[in-house]
Amino acid sequence: MNFGFTEEQLELQEMVREFVEKEITPIAGEMDAENATRPELFKMAADMGLLNVIVPEEYGGLGLDSVTVAMMYEELGKGCAGVATSMAANALATAPVLIAGTDEQKRMWCDILNEGGLAAFALTEPGAGSDAGGVSTRAVHDKEKKTYTLNGTKAFITNGGIADIYLIFANTRKDGGIRGLTAFIVPKGTPGFKVGRKEDKMGIRPSNTCELILDNVVIPESNRVGREGQGFRIAMQTLDSARPFVGAVSVGLAQAALDVAVAYAKERKQFGQPIASFEMVQEMVADMAMKVDAARLLVYRACAMRDEGVVFTKEAAMAKCFAADTAMEVTTNAVQIMGGYGYSKENPAEKRMRDAKIMQIYEGTNQIQRLVIANKVMY
């Protein structure tokens, strides 16, 4: 079953698979322990064009369709969900510029990515997570000087401490609300723009997650992406495109956990026979395999709908939600099948289980995905 994937898609999938097996999987545990990634990985990924996958060809990128991008993220998810998250954050942060940016903004932004730069998407704040419209970072317009001054704090930002360019949401209305939410480009090193606390996380530890502080950050008017007040819609459209990619990373994570658990079940003997022969183990494996396949199909469907240009908000939420729940369940059962050995840090199974949890939280918690799905199904 390959849904008529093209030669190019299969070649890219194979290339990323080799890169992951050779360069990422062998050091995933070390990066987890070090709570940091290896910059040389991003350099290698950049050389392969993996950091600018959604950048259109006219702006120097690979200009890949969503199905191909999902195939790539699944492979990265098999090796390390943290590395995959950091690479996917580049696509997430780029989408708003591609949706609403001027030609000049697109060129400037994409040039940075084409040179191997990293990007960050900063929506969440200490007081505004699921309620994305509750952003309180303020952007005050000075019409004479043609500038905006930004003040506020962003929380849990992927690549926050290592990005070269940031897409930041702020409110242009004193009284807040979604009608004032606006997107801005803020380059690294802009005076007053500081990286705050680095998060010490349960999982995806190789992915850098930091607080960002904006203390009287002055940027030119020309760094506003889209119109004042267009930010909420831009953020929602961006998240629609990106949520299936979280699904794809989740599928990779789950597939890798399943593969290792099956190999272990065939090897490990108890009561004089391989544990694979016990029906309760077989039931777990059957459910794991079925859900991984179902999740993958939901991811491909959402991506294919996006590529066809039809409305896919509900399908994007379904793909993210189901695949994330699958990753959590499958990685937990992989540990179960491996018993005490699965629980040991010597074994990558426990890292995968810790990594899976975030899939149910970021890019909209799975409760928020269910809200989106229910709204689309019922109203």
**Catalytic residue ranges:** 363
Q: Which does 333 bind (CB under 5 to 8 A by kind): ligand CAA, ligand FAD, none?
A: none
Contacts of 160 (CB under 8 A, 6+ apart): 120, 122, 154, 195, 198, 208, 209, 210, 211, 212
What tokens does 19 get?
């890169």
Instruction: Please report whether residue 124 would count as binding ligand CAA according to CB under 6 A.
Output: yes
Q: What share of the chain is helix, strand, coil (3-state, %, to 5)?
A: 60, 15, 25
Stretch in the footprint of ligand FAD (CB under 6 A) among 71-79, 122-130, 324-332, 337-345: 122-130
Q: What distance in Å separates the CA atoms of residue 347 and residue 339, rounded to the nearest whole number?
A: 11
Q: Give least dist CB 167 to ligand FAD, A.
A: 9
User: In 10 A of CB 18, how many CB atoms?
Assistant: 11
Residues near ligand CAA (CB under 6 A), total: 24
Q: Which does 236 bind (CB under 5 to 8 A by kind): ligand CAA, ligand FAD, none?
A: ligand CAA
Task: Tell me if residue 363 falls in helix, strand or coil.
Answer: coil
135 vs 260, which CB is nearer to ligand CAA?
A: 135
208 vs 333, which CB is nearer to ligand CAA?
A: 208
Q: Give least dist CB 106 to ligand FAD, A.
A: 21
Spell out the alpha helix ranges (H) of 48-188: 66-79, 81-100, 103-114
Report CA Rg, the chain: 21
Instruction: Please report whether residue 336 would count as binding ligand CAA according to CB under 6 A.
Output: no
Dihedral pair phi/psi, residue 280, rounded to 5°: -70, -30
CB 185 within 8 A of CB 113: no
Q: Residues 189 to 208: which contact ligand FAD by CB under 6 A?
A: 201, 204
Among 19, 42, 59, 121, binds ligand FAD (CB under 6 A): 121
Among 116, 133, 187, 274, binds ligand CAA (CB under 6 A): 133
User: In 10 A of CB 270, how many CB atoms?
Assistant: 10
- Closest-by-Cβ residue to ligand FAD is 129
Binding mask 234-253 for ligand CAA (x = CB under 6 A): --xx-xx-------------
Q: What is the largest CA-CA distance in the chain?
A: 82
Q: What distance in Å separates the CA atoms of residue 322 and residue 324, rounded to the nearest whole number?
A: 5
Query: HSE on the CB side for 243, CA within 13 Å?
Result: 35
Instruction: Please report whether residue 180 would count as binding ligand CAA according to CB under 6 A.
Output: no
Stretch in the footprint of ligand FAD (CB under 6 A) among 156-164, 236-244, 307-315, 317-325: 156-164
Among 9, 105, 209, 333, binds ligand FAD (CB under 6 A): 209
CB 334 within 8 A of CB 259: no
Instruction: Please report whether residue 233 would count as binding ligand CAA according to CB under 6 A.
Output: yes
What tokens does 282 get?
């077989």
Q: Which does 201 bind (CB under 5 to 8 A by kind): ligand FAD, ligand CAA, none?
A: ligand FAD
Site residues (vs ligand CAA, CB under 6 A): 85, 89, 92, 121, 123-124, 130, 132-133, 158, 178, 232-233, 236-237, 239-240, 313, 362-364, 368, 371-372
- Which residue ranges make up the site for ligand FAD (CB under 6 A)? 89, 121-124, 129-130, 156-158, 201, 204, 209, 358, 361-365, 367-368, 371
